[in-house]
Structure 1
Amino acid sequence: MMRLSVALLLATAIAGCLSASLPQKEEQNVEMKPLRKIMIHGRPIHGLVPTPVEENKPENKAATTPAYYTQKLDHFDNTTQRTFQQRYWYNPAYLKSGGPIFLMLGGEGPASSSWITTDSLYFDTMAKKYNAAMFELEHRYYGETRPTSDQSTSNLKWLSSRQAVEDTAAFIRAMNSVHQWTNPKWIVFGGSYSGALAAWMRQNYPDIVAGAVASSGPVFAKLDFLEYIDVVQTSLRTYSSPCADNIQAGFVQLQQMMATAAGRKQLSTTFSLCPAFGDAMPSDKDIQNFYDTVMGNFMYTVQYSQDNVAYFANELTIPAVCAKMTANNGKSNVQKLADVNTFVGGFFGGGCTGTSYNDFIKGMQSTSFNSPYADSRSWVWQTCTEFGYFQSTDQTNNIFGSTVPVSFYVDQCTAIYGSQFNQQTISQSVDSTDAFYGGRDNYKGTNVVLPNGSVDPWHALGILTTKGTATAALITGTAHCADMYPPRSADPPGLTQARITIDQKIASIMQPCPAGYSVVVQGNNNCYKLVSSAKAWQDAENQCVSEGGHLASVHNAFENAALSTFASAANSNANTWIGLNNMNSPTSFTWSDGSSTMYTNWANGQPMQPTAMHCVQQGAKGSSSPALWMTASCSMAQQFVCSINQ
């Protein structure tokens, strides 16, 4: 893979997910100095979602000026009051009374105001249509949001998606207070990793987030992400079988040449390697690093092929690289791989192809926020401590051969952050992430649109089947986050339909409560219905689900008091079923809608743990335990409150 020169790196704003602009294609760098890999753990150096060029209009001046919110460093430790300044942007240009609030979540790179100032983007188009205010919130430990003095391993412990979700919840509540918004409808948006964050925000905080658009969000964490390479080869072969065949033949030849000194010398010349391979056999890691670099050219191209942004729209595409791999020019397949290497590297200023694994690790070990590896260090930390997402070639019969094992990525975690990060601990962390959020199969968010592209390798970890009001949209023929970029006449029908689906979802969120439901709690996005005809807990939950909701969940004292008053309307002496239960685990109570269980209001001596008492009721307002929670036999018939998240 071609490397960036120091001069180009300093001149170019290295973007993250929803971040600064892509580098422009430049002439080959005469210094031929390697610096950085283009793809690091599936993340390009500009971030997972390339950012469109900002429209420089006078009315955007205020919106392009960042503001800062004082954010808590650790949301899970009440003994510390440390804070940091979190960068955000605000554009109220379209806001009218009753309009929603759109929040674009930043991901693993510097955020950018361009997402809230570029009229051609669908995000901005929808904001104008629905009279919405627009925010962009930068993710902790990326861009200029630097919670700690450096990125040492001890400081990175506060970098996680769970902290980021809590950051977002705190930010939303703060903005409601600052702007004196009453019962606003917040809709969160994101792409790639921040798309997963958007989905998790709606799932975990349905009381403050009315809906989400989670573009290309990999909600399923997986240590060995074998499917990534499988989608890459499928996308290439779907376009051109000869192209895929020549890539495969080229990688076979690469491995054969690597086995001899003469072959390595030829590879050094053909790929402009620096340092060149010598007579001695290189280390396994140097060899894997080289294969990862060459393979990364195709990963990068496929991931964004024909997205309507920068050079991906028409230049760096699957047809373009396949044209080089199938050219009838008398070159060997290895030489054609080198041509693709030069072609892709040209978009980053060119340079020689680095081979030193140790040099790469040294760069990643830098703990300075000013290091050119800073955002990559943060992202790899998250893959090593939460997600995995390691794009290995361990699956048999792939076109790249068995060249990059999962151990290549696991060993990076150990080398960069310490010996405590090994395959066992990483696997445990990945399992913990899926258990916490529900993964793909147990996702419980509602009022969410989940667009994914069939060409995009990341769709393999996304939600592809509609469940209730969590609407999946697998778009045939598109790549990563294609729905986020400006529409054009060449868009495939599925992409146009996905944008219509997003529009329809926003429209449904903006509708008033369904018949029989009403707003009970000012400040959240729920509609409630009291059902006075008594039913057992599961029958009550089934009725609520059939109406598009769940038994009511409660997330703070204000909601609890309001719900108690509402439930007493028919009978002030009747207890009321709520959604809390421990039927799945005797030692852990969860809400039936999957939302957060941080708030509780147990009566004295509760919860009781008899086998038959797995369900929770709220005490009647006229009883000795008004609004307090008590366990009860799930078979008991009593009134209940349904809640629909709008």
Structure 2
Amino acid sequence: MERMSACLCLVFLFLTVVAEAKYPPGDTLLPQNLDHFSFQPESYRIFHQKYLISSHFWRKGGPIFVYTGNEGDIEWFASNTGFMLDIAPKFQALLVFIEHRFYGESKPHNLAKTMGYLNSQQALADYAILIRSLKQNLSSEASPVVVFGGSYGGMLAAWFRLKYPHITIGALASSAPILQFDKIVPSSSFYDVVSQDFKDASLNCFEVIKKSWRELEVFSTMKDGLQELSKKFRTCKDLHAVYLASRWLETAFTDTAMVNYPTPANFMAPLPAYPVEEMCKIIDRFPLEASNLDRAFAAASLYYNYSGSENCFDIENQTDPHGLNGWYWQACTEMVMPISCSNQSMFQPFEYDEKVDQEDCLKEYGVKPRPHWITTEFGGHRIEMVLKRFGSNIIFSNGMQDPWSREGVLKNISSSIIALVTKKAGAHHTDLRAATKEDPEWLKEQRRQEVAEIEKWISEYYSDLRQEEQAK
């Protein structure tokens, strides 16, 4: 209840503050140009970008903490990023959560004909314009800005610091897989970590899941196999293909590894603390004569039905409650993150096929992926050598239980570009979640280090600002 109250409090603060607070006046929608990088007449078409703001703890002239929105509704990320609310009183900070273009309510009217303007460069420019506009409206031009983000939002936070150093003094990029491009890291990293998470929880659990795929495939060769499989998986409607059940199982295991938080949470789904361990307990409690597939199904049901309220599973029609569909377009254009699955993992092995990827994207959207664009635009190759020569004030935080961790920055690059890594713990941007009494010591220490680093950035900024004013 304490955790839920903290999340609800955060959203309530954001959604009511415009009516209560002195700053800023007006709405939480900002008109943005559809295209920031050309001057054709159509580029001046407007869409309205949503942002959430709270001045509850802010003193005028104080810092502004900005969350660089991900691929979904901004309220979803606000309610799962309580860390910013937790530290706002210490810094007397203004809190701003900006929704990513083409997600949530920040969509142009003619979505199909404007999808070409959905990309990370346009999103970063949106953030820059909104932050500048906000500071002008608040008459607080000298307020330092620190950006925060997790996952794709963490990538954007790091890139924003590099692209717009005149707007932000620093970035906390949590679980940001900025090296998952252009063969910088092994493409099997994601599934390797998921598998290791389950193996660490229980070797038997790992083996059961690994063997379950072969049992699942048998249903594709059986007479009335799909009907039998539908009964076994308690589907609301009969399945039309075995791969749908396979995908359903895989999603449960990969998503649970991502959100293997040390306390109960409701990010991807309502789940208990350490849900990977809970899944494995379910598998390990089965009698020896039980099939591997039955055990795997029971474990996956924890992800889809932790509350126990679901009478059946609608496997063929998965819902998209947070509006994530725009990511498929991004993955077919610039966000080309090759993923494969090795024989050592607990999943069915497969290789990344660039040709098939291109064919699928052409069929779905009429576009071909640009696999080298992200590293051209933002870099990534030899990142230590590059960033230590010109970058500063970025925290890359990762927990090594997070499937995306191997694709992030795991070593300090300089004295001000640091990597905070929890070696045997930490799921997907765990550090950005609201603090609770049950948090383990490693998580408390990670957050203490982050706060200390941010405090140093802000202190140095104000010191430089005073010196500048005295010199005038």
TM-score (norm 2): 0.83
- Match of 1:245? 207
Alignment partner of 1:52: what SS? helix
- 1:165 paired residue among 112, 119, 124: 124
Is residue 2:80 matched to residue 1:141? no
Structure 1, unpaired ranges of 5+: 1-21, 25-50, 364-371, 523-527, 529-565, 567-646
Does residue 478 of structure 1 match 2:426?
yes
1:437 to 375, 378, 382: 378
Q: How far did residue 52 of structure 1 move? A: 3.3
Tell me if structure 1 keeps the 8 A contact 2:153–2:176: yes
Show the counterpart of 1:545.
none
Quote how far apart the aligned CAs of 1:514 are.
11
Query: Aligned pair 1:512/2:460, yes or no?
Result: yes
Question: Which has the higher mean CA deviation after the structures are superposed, 53-62 or 157-166?
Answer: 53-62
Give me the whole-angstrom Cα distance separating, in 2, the residues matched to 1:58 and 1:138.
17
1:88 to 48, 51, 63: 51
CA deviation string 1:505-557 (max 9, x = no partner): 11111223699x778989xxxxx9xxxxxxxxxxxxxxxxxxxxxxxxxxxxx
Cα deviation code 1:618-640 (max 9, x no counterpart): xxxxxxxxxxxxxxxxxxxxxxx
- 1:233 aligns to 2:174 (yes or no): no
Corresponding residue SS for 2:135: helix
Residue of structure 1 equivalent to 2:137 = 178
Work out whether 1:112 is the aligned partner of 2:58.
no
Native 8 Å contact 2:62 2:93 kept in 1:
yes
Q: Partner letter of residue 408 of structure 2? A: G
The C-alpha deviation readout for 1:7-26, integer Å capped at 9, x for no partner, is xxxxxxxxxxxxxxx9x9xx
* Per-residue CA distance 1:169-213 (angstroms, 9 max, x = gap): 111111121112232210011111111111111111111100111
1:268-287 equivalent positions in 2, closer than 5 A: 268-273=230-235, 276=238, 286-287=241-242
- Structure 2 CA distance for partners of 1:211 and 1:64, relative to 1, 3 Å: farther
Do the aligned partners of 1:231 and 1:456 also contact (CA within 8 Å) in 2? yes
| 1: CA distance, partners of 2:350 / 2:461 | 56
8 Å contact kept, 1:273–1:352: yes
Whole-Å separation in 2 of the counterparts to 1:353 and 1:121: 31
Choose the corresponding residue for 1:495, options 440, 443, 449. 443
Alpha-carbon RMSD across the aligned residues, in angstroms, is 3.5
Quick one: which amino acid aligns to residue 282 of structure 2?
Answer: K
Higher-strand-fraction structure: 1
Q: In the alignment, which residue of structure 2 is the partner of 1:71?
A: 32
One-letter amino acid of the structure 2 residue matched with residue 297 of structure 1:
A
Out of 268, 292, 296, the position equivalent to 1:337 is 296
* 2:94 counterpart letter in structure 1: A
Q: Is the 8 A contact 2:14 2:52 kept in 1?
A: no
Write the letter of the residue equivalent to 1:206: P
CA distance in 1 between counterparts of 2:157 and 2:448 reads 19
1:377 partner amino acid: N
- Does 2:290 match 1:325? no
Structure 1 Cα separation of the partners of residues 315 and 83 of structure 2: 41
TM score, norm. by length of structure 1: 0.62
Cα displacement (A) at 1:256: 3.7
Q: Against the structure 1 CA distance between its residues 191 and 440, is the aligned structure 2 distance closer, same or farther, given a 3 Å change threshold?
A: farther
Identity %: 24
1:188 aligns with 2:142: no
Partner SS for 1:148 = coil
Structure 2 unaligned segments of length 5 or more: list them. Answer: 21-26
Structure with the higher fraction of residues in helix conformation: 2
Ranked by relative contact order (alpha carbons within 8 Å, sequence separation 6 or more), the top structure is 2
Residues 223 and 273 (structure 1), Cα distance of their counterparts in 2 relative to 1, 3 Å cut? farther
SS in 2 for 1:54: helix
Distance 2:130 2:291 in 1: 56
Answer yes or no: is the 8 Å Cα contact 2:279–2:300 preserved in 1: no
Count of residue pairs brought into register by the alignment: 444
Cα offset for 1:464?
0.9
Which residue of the other structure, out of 246, 249, 259, is the alignment partner of 2:221?
Answer: 259
CA 1:352/1:383 → structure 2, altered by over 3 Å: closer, same or farther?
Answer: farther
Q: Which runs of 4+ in 1 moved over 6 A?
A: 56-60, 517-522
Aligned-partner SS, 2:101 = coil
Instruction: Provide the rounded CA distance (Å) in 2 between the counterparts of 1:401 and 1:332.
Output: 18
Larger radius of gyration: 1
